Structure 1
Amino acid sequence: MPTPDFILELRATAGHQLLFLPGASAVVLDDEDRVLLGRRADNGRWALPSGIPEPGEQPATAVVREVYEETAVRCVPERIVLVHTAEPVTYPNKDVCQFVDICFRCRAVGGEARVNDEESLEVGWFPVDSLPELDEYALTRIKRAFEDGPTWFDSTIPE
């Protein structure tokens, strides 16, 4: 994923030290309750659409923008699925980040699922019982998106 300009500007003065950053991710469902996934260009793994809100941008607005930028699918947020602070990540260039993810369940309302930027190799809709290999955190978000319960707040979600 390309690093947003405002992060590059922060890094110019902050160096490699830990940056605590917001993130927004989406479990996007279509009319058949299939899940929208993209296969990431940076690591080749299937994942939920996600990204970093721009300064001043609301998380729900950011997730709608990110879903469209990555998949060409238009969506509307229905509810917050969970809020989770991940463990810090150290990138190959030694930058350290820690993300707090706000995951939304969204409903697709238009567009045709396709690769729409350089962040994805493939994009597709998947029945929940035929998902490709995903990490535990993605599976947790998908599971929570199908539940009717309240927003889930827990710091022990597997990565």
Structure 2
Amino acid sequence: MADYIHELRGLVGHRPLILTTAAGALLDSQNRLLLQERTDTGDWSFPGGYMEFGESFQETCQREYLEDAGVAVECERLIALFDHDFYTYPNGDQTQLITALYLVHQVGGELLTTATSETQQVKYFPLDQLPPFFNDQSKKMAQKVIEMVAANEAD
């Protein structure tokens, strides 16, 4: 996918692009949230990423989760769709990110224990002790997860 985005950027430069992404919220038995420390900024985000041509949001979430966190997941349900978030990367690339956030559960794999080209580390965080996020969309996604957990605990 990076080649596809680089090809687009070669054509449009730093002009704004609308990009579709998918991410997953994986909670452990203590309702701690798994997050990825990004290698590009050092900030934290949900494991996830850009959709490849021909993929569904769920397929993107599953592929990206395995790449970013080492964990095979299944998507249980859509938590929310985020479609009004903008981000400018340090190199000036502007994007409007349309992201589907899923509640996921682990079906295989193991958490990454070494850094990759995109992930410094993965770690579970209590919902009241979340780290600095990559962008505003990640903050909004975390808030939706907090609200979901609170609603489930109230039932």
> Same fold per TM (> 0.5)?
yes
- Kindly state the Cα deviation for residue 102 of structure 1 after the two structures are TM-superposed: 0.7
2:147 matched to 1:140?
no
- Kindly state the Cα deviation for residue 142 of structure 1 after the two structures are TM-superposed: 2.0
- In the alignment, what sits opposite 1:123? 122
Which one is further off, 61-70 or 118-127? 118-127
Q: Distance in 2 between matches of 1:8 and 1:145?
A: 36
1:49 to 40, 47, 50: 47
Which one is further off, 86-95 or 64-73? 86-95
Aligned length: 147
96 and 28 in structure 1: CA distance in 2 versus 1, 3 angstrom threshold: same
Q: Distance in 1 between matches of 2:52 and 2:115?
A: 19
Which one is further off, 66-75 or 32-41? 32-41
Q: Distance in 2 between matches of 1:148 and 1:61?
A: 27
**What are the ranges of 5 or more consecutive residues in structure 2 without an aligned counterpart?**
none
Q: Percent identity?
A: 32
Which one is further off, 32-41 or 69-78? 32-41
How far does the alpha carbon of each residue in 1:55-103 deviate from its partner, in whole angstroms, 9 at most, with x for none?
1111101001111101111111000111112433233333221111111
- The answer to whether the 8 A contact 1:27-1:36 is kept is yes
34 and 92 in structure 1: CA distance in 2 versus 1, 3 angstrom threshold: closer
| DSSP-derived class of the 1:128 partner | coil
Letter in 2 for 1:132: P
Which one is further off, 119-128 or 5-14? 119-128
Q: Distance in 2 between matches of 1:83 and 1:4?
A: 23
**What are the ranges of 5 or more consecutive residues in structure 1 without an aligned counterpart?**
150-159
Q: Tell me which protein shows more helix as a share of its residues.
A: 2
Q: Distance in 1 between matches of 2:95 and 2:129?
A: 32
Letter in 2 for 1:136: K
Output the TM-score relative to the length of structure 1. 0.79
Structure 1's consecutive aligned runs of 4 or more residues displaced over 4 angstroms after TM superposition are none
Alignment of 1:29-108 (within 5 A): 29-108=27-106
- Kindly state the Cα deviation for residue 6 of structure 1 after the two structures are TM-superposed: 0.9
Measured on the aligned residues, the alpha-carbon RMSD in Å equals: 2.3
2:110 matched to 1:112?
yes
- Kindly state the Cα deviation for residue 104 of structure 1 after the two structures are TM-superposed: 0.6
